Chains A and B, each alone.
Chain A
Amino acid sequence: MVNTSKPVLELKKLSKHFTGVAALSGISFNVSPGEVLCLLGDNGAGKSTLIKILSGVHRPTEGEVLVDGNPVKLRSPREAQDLGIATVHQDIGVISLMSVARNFFLGLEPTKGWGPFKRIDHEKARAIVIDQITAMGIRRVRDGNQLVGVMSGGEKQALAIARAIYFGGRVLILDEPTSALGVKEAEIVLRFIHQARANGIAVILITHNVHHALSVADHYIVLIHGEVAADFRKGEKTREEILDLMAGGERLQSLAAELEAGITSATP
């Protein structure tokens, strides 16, 4: 299954500078349909900047992004969406004070009527959203009019993922989807990721949790200081090596040694 088909998304020597400071330099990798790419890196390594470029929020300073082999310009979130790049941001991007159906169709409301009298087809919207989230395993929400604020963190995440897939997301970018969730809810989200992969969706997953990364990823990219520090496939590195890379690698080991040394020297 790994990388038999052509990549759906390719990054070629992507760089981003913020007033002289390089946030990303020379990032190249690609993702294929039915593949989960796990993006690892410490805070400030450039993960967020990379996601913002891919979701159309930031423009790269250099390099290019290719979708289906064609160079594309991602000038707005809308353009990224239209190309099938769907991003579920860390703050999820669902709105608590709005209903489940209104959230699900935000920006892409199904309408009926014509011209200035075009209005949201509320019944259709409610029916679709309940279908979609039930398929994702959420059975507690039975009414599309229900406010999103009453949903749990995992349910909100599921709603956001269901939304991204429903609207033709072929590349699904998930930014720390499990970080705010309990064990059970995180499992539900990981199952969605499996499901998405089985449906031929390319997934880019950002996570800090090594167990979650190991359970779903086919391909790993490690970012350090805005550069690709490691690029390997499933099975090419041991769990410990990956854990090391995720935790900041040798630096953390040396910190542990330092601390230990400190303790020993402090104890008479």
Chain B
Amino acid sequence: MASAAHSKDGATGAPARGSKSTTASGRTVKSSLKRVIRRPEFGAFAGMILVYAFFAVAAKNGFLTLAGTANWMNTASELGVLAVPVGMLMIAGEFDLSVGSVIGASSMIVSIGNGFYGLPMWVAIILALIIGALIGLGNGIITVSTRLPSFIVTLAGLFIVAGAALGFSRLLSGTTAVTLTPEGSARMAFGSQAAGFHVSILWWIAITAVASWILTQSPYGNWIFATGANQNAARAAGVPSDRVKVSLFVATALGAVLVGVLQTIQYSGGDVTYGRDFVFDAPVAAVIGGVLLTGGYGSAIGVFLGSVIFGVVNMGIFYTGWNSDWAQLVLGTLLLLAVLGNNYFRRLALTGG
């Protein structure tokens, strides 16, 4: 009983310090192993090792090289920048599908603003951030005030923003893809690379670190978990659940803007279709990373690992020389396994066995 009690870690990511087992060393190892297994990101970690090992063997040339590593990390980072805030919103119990068209819209705002009208790059980027924040605010306020499922509210948002982006792009620039020449500090912040590793990797790591700190260390993080797990209980305890949700809708929209800016500057041009795949890729990465679809459970590190899996699978398939169509099959299977596995691990955490 004593060892079991020691092994039950706060699965919401509280640090394990202070619960050291002082009994025989074998027991300590066993109980810390249990503690590790019960963390929300454990499944994603195991999955990542498995997938990486698989492609390390199956992919013939290039996957394990520096260039190959840069490739999967670049892919993972662009998704991860968005998947981490999307995962946080899912922990709070809501979805955001509109991000898929916010990426394209922000890409067009930056490229039309800078490439077509000649606005300074940073002004165009700030404009995109403001419009993104307003879209997030709209999604959030409509969701919390109507109590409608955010799935349907943001699905409408996905269409509205996509349509508006297309319409305004044609109206203003006569086209839906505008080129630009990134330079100066904006290029350094969003477009630089070293040995093939794109700067988006740094954004990805930084965002994950901040999100992880917020979720595990800050009172606001505690409110996110509580809001997603049991909104009525959270409200009764005085947690401003509506504000928590609205702020996270803004965060996902800003994450989408960041992806749009990164892609636009990296590819020297904006396109209204950028980011279409991310509508589902981001929540899939979050779920593979251990986020509970119904909210209240998950971790930023897990979502980070979920996006690593995405990058490894997409690039791994490419390096095997197989048709990239197989990537979806693999990811779909992983998603199913993740849902089953997470369900099992969570039950384990709750029974304490």
Contacts and interface: CB of A to CB of B under 8 A. Distances in A.
Interface in B213-250: 213, 217-219, 222-223, 225-226, 229-230, 232-239
Given A77-B237, A145-B9, A122 B226 contact: no
A135 to B, nearest CB: 18
B346 interface: yes
A146 B8 contact: yes
Interface in B294-353: 296-297, 346, 349-352
A32 interface: no
A7 B351 CA distance: 44
Interface stretch (A36-44, A102-110, A204-212, A233-241): A102-110
Nearest to B15: A122
Nearest to B8: A146
Q: What band does the interface of chain A fall in when counting residues whose beta carbon is under 8 Å from B?
A: 35 or more
Nearest to A82: B238
Given A102-B222, A147-B10, A95 B229 contact: yes
Contacts of B17: 123
Given A87-B236, A93-B237, A98 B10 contact: yes
Contacts of A147: 8, 10-11, 349-350, 352
A150 B351 CA distance: 5
A149 B223 contact: no
A228 to B, nearest CB: 26
Contacts of B11: 97, 99, 147
Nearest to B295: A97
Interface in B171-219: 213, 217-219
Among B5, B8, B237, the one with the most A-chain Cβ atoms within 10 Å of its Cβ is: B237
A217 B334 CA distance: 57
B217 A120 contact: yes
Contacts of B61: none
Contact of A142 (B5, B16, B352): B5
Contact of A146 (B226, B346, B352): B352
A143 B292 CA distance: 24
Nearest to A127: B18
A108 B226 CA distance: 13
Interface of B: 1-2, 5-6, 8-12, 14-19, 213, 217-219, 222-223, 225-226, 229-230, 232-239, 292, 296-297, 346, 349-352
13 contacts: A76-B238, A77-B235, A95-B225, A97-B229, A99-B10, A101-B10, A102-B222, A106-B223, A118-B218, A119-B213, A122-B217, A146-B5, A146-B352
